[in-house]
Structure 1
């Protein structure tokens, strides 16, 4: 099973890193499927707005909802997240991929939802997966995969090298 994780030490920095790697891989002709968070400025993180960029074409789906001023409830739009996951899974089934990339294994995935089915399908198909991983969800991730997390340093060249090597067998 080829699955590697980028530790989420700073969400904004990880978003930028994953998007840069995806763009470089796409320029190389690597067939990508998945979803990456559209990077925002640090100041915008306080609003918890999240939009996912679906790979390979960049279609965007906003997965956060405006709950109004003063709200402290979770802003995740579970329906929009399910839509994004469904689109990505359909793309993997219909178009195949050399690599699946996801911005993170988060609470939804830890609870059995989100992009979990896509990750399973990729693993079952022998397609490598690159995913962001935070410490709070590491145990759930390792329970799900049945293996310790393969953590890569948050370094663009190192991550790119892993991706190219992992995707090499299926990469055109």
Structure 2
């Protein structure tokens, strides 16, 4: 990948997921007039008796899809639903076609670290020079560096993401 400066990563650990901060930031950027696309996620953790919920939302349209398989009451553990993830990947491709000022990617997760998931869409956005904000688990940071190198902008606050996004949009105009 050649243009990693157009990537802002938010590193997180399991105790402090970035979902509400990313949602707040995307909303603020839209209110400031930026064209924001991509995916946000929310959900609730599971427990020993039930699987977590994981919902992806298309920022541009508000479409939502549950991406954990519903495996029944007796099932142990959670599993991503490939068809739900494929549908969300299509939403990212649709967002890319509109050339957003900034594209949010809910996660660089285990599937992306394995070369699957929405990795193709992340690469397409980078190739097109579309600025991206991507959440990356601390545990997957080594795989992220293998994929994208070490020169992405690191943000820990909504304000840092906003400043970075505004600078990216100003540089593009």
TM-score by length of 2: 0.85
The question of 1:76 aligning with 2:101 is answered: no
Q: Secondary structure at the match of 1:122?
A: helix
Moved over 4 A (4+): 10-13
Q: 1:67 is matched with which residue?
A: 71
Verify the 8 A CA contact 1:89 1:117 in the aligned structure 2: no
The question of 1:168 aligning with 2:144 is answered: no
Q: Any idea what the Cα deviations from partners look like across 1:103-152, whole Å, max 9, x if unmatched?
A: 11001111112221121111111111111011221122111113355321
Among residues 97, 100, 103, which one is paired with 1:100 in the alignment?
103
Verify the 8 A CA contact 1:37 1:50 in the aligned structure 2: yes
Q: 1:8 is matched with which residue?
A: 12
Partners of 1:133 and 1:80 in 2: CA distance: 20
Higher strand share: 2
Cα displacement (A) at 1:13: 4.4
Q: Which consecutive residues of structure 1, in runs of 5 or more, have no partner in the other structure?
A: none
Q: Any idea what the Cα deviations from partners look like across 1:14-54, whole Å, max 9, x if unmatched?
A: 1000000000111112112211103x4xxx31232111111
Cα gap change, 1:11 to 1:148, in 2 (>3 Å): farther
Cα displacement (A) at 1:167: 2.5
The question of 1:36 aligning with 2:40 is answered: yes
Q: 2:94 is matched with which residue?
A: 90
TM-score by length of 1: 0.86
Cα RMSD, aligned residues only: 1.9
Q: Secondary structure at the match of 1:23?
A: helix
Partners of 1:26 and 1:11 in 2: CA distance: 28
Among residues 109, 120, 139, which one is paired with 1:117 in the alignment?
120
